[in-house]
Amino acid sequence: MGKLLVVGSVALDTVKTPFGEVSEVLGGSATFFSTAASYFTSVDLIAVVGEDFPPQHLDFLKSRGIDVTGLERRPGATFRWKGEYTHQLNEAHTLDTKLNVFETFRPQIPDAYRSPDLLFLGNIDPELQLDVLQKLSRPPLVACDTMNFWINGKRDALWRVLEQVDILIINDGEARALGEDSNLVKVAKKVLARGPKHLIIKRGEYGVLMFNEKQVFGAPAFPLEDVRDPTGAGDTFAGGFLGHLTATGDRSLEAFKQAIIFGSVMASFTVEAFSLDRLRILDYKEVQERFRAFKRLTHFEDIS
């Protein structure tokens, strides 16, 4: 089993959807990512929280086998995000963001974390992503995420990051902003020419597309009867995807396709409940069963 290192945010979320609302629940990109990845491999987490971070959340991360040595606790308040979804669940409307201790976050890398098999840089400031890359000897595989705030505000630094990563995982809106084109095929050509070997575009309820030099691969989102909260779906997709790749050590195109489906499986469970509530009770057998259901959903015979 390989070692997966994630650098990102741990937060407290307040979320309202047409199906309910929750206040001050566990959230953050690195939290969703590492929880999903922990079903496949061992995870080391680098993030920062304030002195008000509830101990039961720390206990939960530890219960998933996540190494929290790199989770820094600092004086002040934990990063908080407040958002709302309409029945158009593909996009969150941010109502309030309080960065708090996350505003001055400077990732510190414990010695035990310095040789990961795979590094995932969450959607933090590209300058910090570069700083982490400079502090580590180059891991065999590097993946990153970003968001429109950095695409629009720190484009040059972001491109410098992308020159050094193997996999970029972003949503369709972010892809169009980065590639400055509405056509995702044209966007992919532009991005792949600048560094990443693989571009993975998350499309919410419409599934996911993977572009690389050899081919385009697409997978649908799993059709669900009960969708309650999409928060963290993209991060759990990345966690399942990269967790599987870390666990197998396989870098073949077929392994990437399998990983896409495992990522989609983890995202599909996440949206069934608020915060991480579905993942708290998830059994790996359920993951395997839904993976097989995905295969049945998308399988068809060639024409003779």
Six token digits for residue 171: 């949503």
Between CA 293 and CA 116 the distance in angstroms is 32
Q: Which residues have CB under 8 Å from 20's CB, separation 6+?
A: 228, 229, 274
Identify the structural domains of the chain with CATH numbers, from first to last.
3-298 (3.40.1190.20)
pLDDT score for 92: 83
Closest CA to 50 of 29, 31, 76, 69: 76
Half-sphere exposure of 278 (CA within 13 A, CB side): 24
170's CB contacts (< 8 A; 6+ apart) are 145, 146, 147, 178, 199, 200, 201, 202
Q: The tokens of 146 are what?
A: 């970003």
Per the document, the length of the chain is 304
pTM tops 0.85, yes or no? yes
Tens-binned pLDDT, residue by residue, of the chain (304 aa): 789 999 999 999 999 999 999 999 999 999 999 999 999 999 999 999 999 999 999 999 999 999 999 999 999 999 999 999 988 777 788 999 999 999 999 999 999 999 999 999 999 999 999 999 999 989 999 999 999 999 999 999 999 999 999 999 999 999 999 999 999 999 999 999 999 999 999 998 899 999 999 999 999 999 999 899 999 999 999 999 999 999 999 999 999 999 999 999 999 999 999 999 999 999 999 999 999 999 999 999 999 8
DSSP string, 38-56: TTTSEEEEEEEEETT--HH
pLDDT at 90: 74
Give the per-residue pLDDT at 237.
97
Reading the block at residue 169, the tokens are 């995982």
Helices 126-135 and 155-162 cross at an angle (nearest 10°) of: 30
Strands (E), the chain: 3-7, 11-17, 20-27, 42-50, 71-74, 80-84, 93-98, 118-121, 141-144, 167-171, 198-202, 208-212, 216-219
Whole-number pLDDT of residue 89: 78
Q: Beta strands 198-202 and 167-171: pairing type?
A: parallel
* Composition of the chain by helix, strand, coil, percent to 5: 40, 25, 35
- Give the β-pairing of 167-171 and 208-212: unpaired
Residues 219, 168: Cα–Cα separation, whole Å = 17
Contact 269, 62 (CB under 8 A): no
pLDDT of residue 204: 87
pLDDT given at position 39? 98
What pLDDT, on a 0 to 100 scale, did the predictor assign at position 290? 97
Whether residue 10 contacts residue 60, with contact meaning beta carbons closer than 8 Å, is answered with no
The confidence score (pLDDT) of residue 183 equals 97
- In the chain, DSSP finds a helix count (H) and a strand count (E) of 11, 13
Are 207 and 219 a contacting pair, CB within 8 Å? yes
